[in-house]
Structure 1
Amino acid sequence: MITINDIAKEAKVSAGTVDRVIHNRGGVSKKTAAKIKAIVAKHDFQINAIASSLALNKRVEIATLIPDYDTKNTFWKSPMMGILKAKEEVKKIGATITCYTFNQFDEASYVSQFKKIIASKPDAMLLAPLFGSVTKNLVKELDEKEIPYVFININLEGCNNSSFIGQDSYMSGFLAGKLMQLSLKESNTIAVMQTRINLDNNHAIYNRIKGFEAYFTSHNIQVNLINVNIIDLDNVIELKDKLATMFAHNPDIQGVFVPNSRIFTFVAAIDLLKIKRMVLIGFDGTDKNVVCLEDENVAFLISQQPFKEGYEAIKMMVDFLIDKKELDARVYSPIEILTKENVRFSKHSK
């Protein structure tokens, strides 16, 4: 009796791709889908019979570890929704996804959850390595136990991860620098908001800032970049006072660069200060950020399709574990520029 792997082999695709075609879930080109359907028809198999044979394949377990989210920090909701959608789909082919989360501002929370995952002995792991230094030590145990792991959102160098899926954070920062320069059109003072303790421990934000700075140096553009350390973003009044001091000492600031997903908090604080004609550029099309964009309080948002990252990460890991499909070392997400004019037409809105 022909198996799902036989069909996949004949079509020269993965079993996951065959499964998507059989259950009409999309994500497969018309040409490939037609080829698979022709093979299914040739062997005269009913869809239920194929689904059953698929379920008999090797069962695999994948653990995911990403930050949790709340009303103030909503970015990680999107990749989690992508993971959960993929989780429902891949369980039909014998894959179990167990989701763990941690407090993105608490390294101990991250370490605790990581150790729980190691103890559970998964077949593979998907993680957001938010705490770079400690991650490099923790993944050594994954290496020793030969548990493959994939990074999402943050590409931490110096590890043996099988793949990375996410945005090129350096280039996204570089693009933000270009957008800022085009918006200001002359040499100006720009405030760069550093919102993490031990900035170099958070590689995504660190690389965004480095890319932002590199745009100006690589183009020999004279600009005054002021690095401002603001850690607590939950207290808008306190944030307003810190920004008031910043603007008092640097009255010529015309641009504000926020390399994380919470530019809406800066908009609220600046609004309290009644400061106008400010160019603000931030990251991620979260609902609150998009409102700021539509109200023209933010000039640009750099977005990266986080839902798709979570979804595709699980799908490609299942293909890797079940069908031994080779993983690409890097799977880059688009670097999207969201504006007031295009945001409702973007993939973010879907």
Structure 2
Amino acid sequence: MITINDIAKEAKVSAGTVDRVIHERGGVSKKTAAKIKSIIAKHDFQINAIASSLALNKRVQIAVLIPDYDAGNTFWKSPMLGILKAKEEVKKIGASVSYFSFNQFDEASYVRQFKEVIASKPDALLLAPLFGSATKGLAKELDDKEIPYVFLNINLEGCNNISFIGQDAYMSGFLAGKLMQLSIKEKSAIAIMQTRANLDNNHAIYKRIKGFEDYFSSNKLSVPLLNINLVDLENTEVLAEKLKTMFVENPYIKGVYVPNSRVFRFVKAINNTKINDLVLLGFDGTEENVKCLENEKVAFLISQQPFKEAYEAIKLMVDFLVDKKELDERIYSPIEILTKENVQFSKHSK
């Protein structure tokens, strides 16, 4: 019986390319696809025999290292689901995906899991480099072992990653600045919430804040920007007291910028009367944030497509390993603006 490898040899393409045509996954020219389909028809190849007939020259293993999620921090649930969906699909062409996760607020947890990943000897790694300084040191081990790696969501500079898949954090912050400036009244101040102890160790958050600040400086707008350090967001009562004090000491604050996915925490902690006098802007279309948007407690959410980013990342890495298809150095996701009026039509409502 003819196999996928036999078809690939006759068509003078890789087995992975044949599989893409069979499963209609795109990425193959019309001419090549037509040639492969003609060979399939000629030999009466049965598609339902794919699993038993597939024999790649090398079975590939991809490791994934991304943060855990919980009820209070749900952003990473979507990438995880995208990875699991892709995992089932690439299994058909002999690729396996190993999933590792870490506590996004614990650098030691990240380092431990990174070591576990390296010990598993993957052919490639998809990584969310949440802790910048630790990643740069650990990435050298990947380089030494010649394990290619792709960054997801956070575009950490100074490493030899073969690609980055995610949003342009600086431009998303710049856009947030524009939205905020258009929404607040004159003679208002804006509070920039810094919720990480070591901001320069979190590249994406740092870039979002830098882009936000640069919007105002590049447009010569004399709007007071106040950097407020509030690391502990879990205790709503304590957070509420700190915010109350902030507003008393800075009565001109009319805008609150939260450069991460936890703007809903601030909504819970700000007095209902006070919040109606504020413009809150945050990131990511998580369920909690979307509720705040729909209730008009948050004016805008800057969002991306985390499920699709992670799903496509796995598929592209399989193409890289199996078909030797080079990846673009940066694969940017759209910068979406979610509002009460349009959120029901976005992918986040599905």
* Alpha-carbon distance in 2 for matches of 1:347, 1:77: 14
Aligned to 2:4: 3
Residue type of the alignment partner of 1:94: G
Instruction: Check whether the contact 1:244–1:273 (CA below 8 A) recurs between aligned residues.
Output: no
Instruction: Check whether the contact 1:59–1:95 (CA below 8 A) recurs between aligned residues.
Output: yes
Question: Alignment length, in residue pairs?
Answer: 348
Instruction: Check whether the contact 1:343–1:349 (CA below 8 A) recurs between aligned residues.
Output: yes
Aligned to 1:210: 210
CA offsets, 1:210-257, max 9 Å, x none? 000011111111110000000011001010011011101100111000
Match status 1:147 vs 2:147: yes
Match status 1:113 vs 2:113: yes
Residue type of the alignment partner of 1:3: I
CA 1:21 to 1:346, structure 2 compared with 1: closer, same or farther past 3 Å?
farther
CA 1:274 to 1:186, structure 2 compared with 1: closer, same or farther past 3 Å?
closer
Residue type of the alignment partner of 1:213: E
CA 1:224 to 1:67, structure 2 compared with 1: closer, same or farther past 3 Å?
same
Aligned to 2:123: 123
Residue type of the alignment partner of 1:68: D
* Alpha-carbon distance in 2 for matches of 1:18, 1:257: 49
Instruction: Check whether the contact 1:193–1:256 (CA below 8 A) recurs between aligned residues.
Output: yes
Residue type of the alignment partner of 1:67: P
Structure 1 segment 185-334 matched on structure 2, within 5 A:
186-271=186-271, 274-334=274-334
* Alpha-carbon distance in 2 for matches of 1:23, 1:334: 27
Name structure 2 gaps, 5 residues minimum: none
Structure 1 segment 151-190 matched on structure 2, within 5 A:
151-184=151-184, 186-190=186-190
Residue type of the alignment partner of 2:109: S
CA offsets, 1:75-124, max 9 Å, x none? 00000000000001111111111100000000000000000111111111
Q: CA deviation at 1:347?
A: 1.6
* Alpha-carbon distance in 1 for matches of 2:164, 2:243: 36
Instruction: Check whether the contact 2:255–2:279 (CA below 8 A) recurs between aligned residues.
Output: yes
Aligned to 1:92: 92
Instruction: Check whether the contact 1:264–1:292 (CA below 8 A) recurs between aligned residues.
Output: yes
* Alpha-carbon distance in 2 for matches of 1:310, 1:30: 24
CA 1:333 to 1:42, structure 2 compared with 1: closer, same or farther past 3 Å?
farther
* Alpha-carbon distance in 2 for matches of 1:252, 1:8: 71
Aligned to 1:68: 68
Instruction: Check whether the contact 2:129–2:156 (CA below 8 A) recurs between aligned residues.
Output: yes
* Alpha-carbon distance in 1 for matches of 2:42, 2:310: 35
Instruction: Check whether the contact 2:189–2:224 (CA below 8 A) recurs between aligned residues.
Output: yes
Q: CA deviation at 1:310?
A: 0.9
TM normalised by structure 2 equals 0.93
* Alpha-carbon distance in 2 for matches of 1:332, 1:185: 33
Residue type of the alignment partner of 1:205: I
Residue type of the alignment partner of 1:90: V
* Alpha-carbon distance in 1 for matches of 2:264, 2:78: 17
Residue type of the alignment partner of 2:82: G
RMSD: 2.3
CA 1:330 to 1:189, structure 2 compared with 1: closer, same or farther past 3 Å?
same
Residue type of the alignment partner of 1:169: A
Aligned to 1:135: 135
Instruction: Check whether the contact 1:7–1:39 (CA below 8 A) recurs between aligned residues.
Output: no
Q: Equivalent residue of 1:70, what SS?
A: coil
* Alpha-carbon distance in 2 for matches of 1:248, 1:195: 20
Match status 1:47 vs 2:58: no
Name structure 1 gaps, 5 residues minimum: none
CA 1:254 to 1:323, structure 2 compared with 1: closer, same or farther past 3 Å?
same
CA 1:186 to 1:27, structure 2 compared with 1: closer, same or farther past 3 Å?
farther
Q: Equivalent residue of 2:270, what SS?
A: helix
- Aligned-pair identity (%): 73
Q: CA deviation at 1:327?
A: 1.1
Instruction: Check whether the contact 2:281–2:300 (CA below 8 A) recurs between aligned residues.
Output: yes
